[in-house]
Chain A
Amino acid sequence: DQQVKQNSPSLSVQEGRISILNCDYTNSMFDYFLWYKKYPAEGPTFLISISSIKDKNEDGRFTVFLNKSAKHLSLHIVPSQPGDSAVYFCAASSRVNTGNQFYFGTGTSLTVIP
Chain B
Amino acid sequence: DVKVTQSSRYLVKRTGEKVFLECVQDMDHENMFWYRQDPGLGLRLIYFSYDVKMKEKGDIPEGYSVSREKKERFSLILESASTNQTSMYLCASHEGRGHRDTQYFGPGTRLTVL
Contact = CB atoms under 8 A, between A and B. Distances in A.
Interface of A: 6, 9, 32, 34, 36, 41-46, 49, 51, 89, 91, 97-102, 104-107
Interface string B27-66: 0001101010000111111001010000010000000000
B31 A100 contact: yes
B100 interface: yes
Nearest to B48: A100
A100 B50 contact: yes
Using C-beta atoms within 8 Å of the partner chain, give the interface range for chain B.
20 to 34
Given A9-B40, A89-B43, A104-B42, A43 B97 contact: no
Interface string B80-114: 00000000001110111111111111111010000
A43 B42 contact: no
B9 A99 contact: no
Given A43-B4, A43-B108, A44-B105, A98 B99 contact: yes
Given A42-B108, A99-B94, A104 B100 contact: no
B8 to A, nearest CB: 13
- Return the 8 tightest CB-CB contacts between A and B, nearest first: A43-B105, A106-B42, A46-B102, A104-B43, A99-B97, A44-B105, A104-B42, A99-B96
Nearest to A48: B102
Contacts of B108: 41-43
A43 B100 contact: no
B40 A102 contact: no
A9 B4 CA distance: 28
Interface centre among B33, B35, B96, B100 (most CB of A within 10 A): B100
